[in-house]
Amino acid sequence: MWQSNLTLADDSIWYRSDDPLKTRALTPPAIPDGYLDGAYDTVCTASHYDDALTLAAVAEAALCNNPQTREAYANARVQAAQVGIAKSAYLFSVNDNVSGSLNRASPEQPNRSNPFSNFNNNIVASYLLYDFGNRDANLENAHQLLQAASATQNSIVQSVLLNAIQAYYLVQAGIAALDAAHETERASEESFKAAEARYNAGLATPSDKLQAQTLFAQNTLTRITAEGTLKTAYGTLANVMGLAANQPLKLISGNSIPPQQNIDQDINTLIEQAHTRRPDLMASEAQLKAAQASIASSRAAAKPTVSLSVSNNFQDGSNLSSSNNSALGVTVSIPIFDGYGPSYRIRSAEAIAEVRSAQRDQLRLQISLDVWRAYQNLRTANESISAATVLVSSAEESSRVTLGRYKAGVGNIIDNLNAQGALATARQQKIQANLNWNIARATLAQSIGGLDNAMVQLLPESRNQQTGLETPSLGRQP
């Protein structure tokens, strides 16, 4: 005996219409609008890592290649498909149940027209007429979760973009630090040679020579450390761009573009902007609405349903007869007792909604703190740049004067070495101040939900401004 339960809705013939409910149009693009300078396909297929990269090129490569952006896009597609599943509940369903059997013929019935088989085919089409809003609540839940997935995708894109900007400026700072280390090493070598010449001429003590040699060795070690730090920064940048850490990269030299010094935005206004623009807060709001829809769905699921059905049954029996019957009916399903399960499902949905509400409120508080921190960090970095510029200028002059006095025999080695040490520290402080400013500005934009391609275009790309040194572009060695 054989039997088949054929459900046309699950058959591959229905999948040939790839997206009959048009859910693909609900899915956000792989990279949302505003984050790339051009079409996604055009930008993401035109990457050339042999060329010197701008900040915009680094950002685009990160958005195109980083697995986090692909994962966020895939999650949005999953949720768009869930909307299609919820929509399918509004359509009718058709099932075809086919069964048959083989029988052994009896000698007493030699004239049977169909002596060896029984065949039965029953087609049933059904449609849910009314369910107290359960379908509506499920569809609303799916739509809100899709909104949450879309907003989460935006949040992840901005996070990847911020990581790319931070990695880019860390490389720029690493190059500037290495430039400064080379300059400091050169200056300390000059002081060592001057002390050695004075010692050989009998004009300086061995202590002068040894102190100068010690500082020279220390600065050599600092330069070696800076080289290692720069290589690590290049590996981090390649990783953020979705490339192997050993991918050779080089950055453009850039023009000396000084940071903008005007910070006149009102902090209260920025916080309010963040509350309306932050994609993670939008996602949290959508998740709360989805949880509220789940409450309505759980309540409706415990109520009766009304369905309409149409069926046709064809049977060819072994008793020399066949039948073909059709029926139209209405079914009312009334749940009477289900072990208190519906009550607890409602309570669970209500508790989940409370959790989502608390998470939304906590995120609102965190956003205000994020904006406050980023704003204050930017103001501090802004003021630090001015102070560091003055510090480097005075330290350079002091180092130049003390070295000249020492070479002329009217100064001592301690003053000279102290001045060189102060200059090296001042240069590093200026590098850090510029790094902090660049990162703080990008972080502030991300904290208010405004970090996009337009913002990237406004960020400075120069590394010459970091120390004031004119140095060639340094590429990363494989």
Domain residue ranges of the chain, discontinuous segments joined by +: 31-65+133-302+341-467
Residue whose pair of structure tokens reads 């058959």 in the numeric block: 11
Taking residues 201-209, report their average pLDDT.
85
Q: How far apart are CA 6 and CA 28, in angstroms?
A: 35
Q: Is 133 helix (H, G, I), strand (E, B) or coil?
A: coil
Average pLDDT, rounded, for the chain:
84
Q: How far apart are CA 131 and CA 205, in angstroms?
A: 99
Query: What pLDDT, on the 0 to 100 scale, is given for residue 363?
Result: 97
- Asked if residue 465 has pLDDT above 90, the reply is no
- Asked if residue 16 has pLDDT above 60, the reply is no
- Asked if residue 471 has pLDDT above 50, the reply is no
Taking residues 280-305, report their average pLDDT.
95
What is the pTM for the complete model shown?
0.83
Q: Could you tell me the maximum CA-CA distance found in the chain, to the nearest angstrom?
A: 137
pLDDT digits (tens, 9 = 90+) for 82-94: 999 999 999 999 9
Query: Which range is least confidently modeled, 49-58, 298-307, 310-319, 461-470?
Result: 461-470
Taking residues 232-247, report their average pLDDT.
94
- Joined together, the tokens standing for residue 350 give 């209500």
Residue at 303: amino acid letter = K
Q: Is 291 helix (H, G, I), strand (E, B) or coil?
A: helix
Q: How far apart are CA 366 and CA 371, in angstroms?
A: 9
Q: Is 104 helix (H, G, I), strand (E, B) or coil?
A: coil
Residues in the chain: 478
Q: How far apart are the first and last CA of the chain?
A: 70
Query: What pLDDT, on the 0 to 100 scale, is given for residue 41?
Result: 67
Q: Which fold has domain 31-65+133-302+341-467?
A: Outer membrane efflux proteins (OEP) (1.20.1600)
Burial of 352 (0-12, 13-18, 19+ CB in 10 A): middle
Q: Is the dihedral of CA 48, 49, 53, 59 positive or negative?
A: positive
Query: What pLDDT, on the 0 to 100 scale, is given for residue 405?
Result: 86
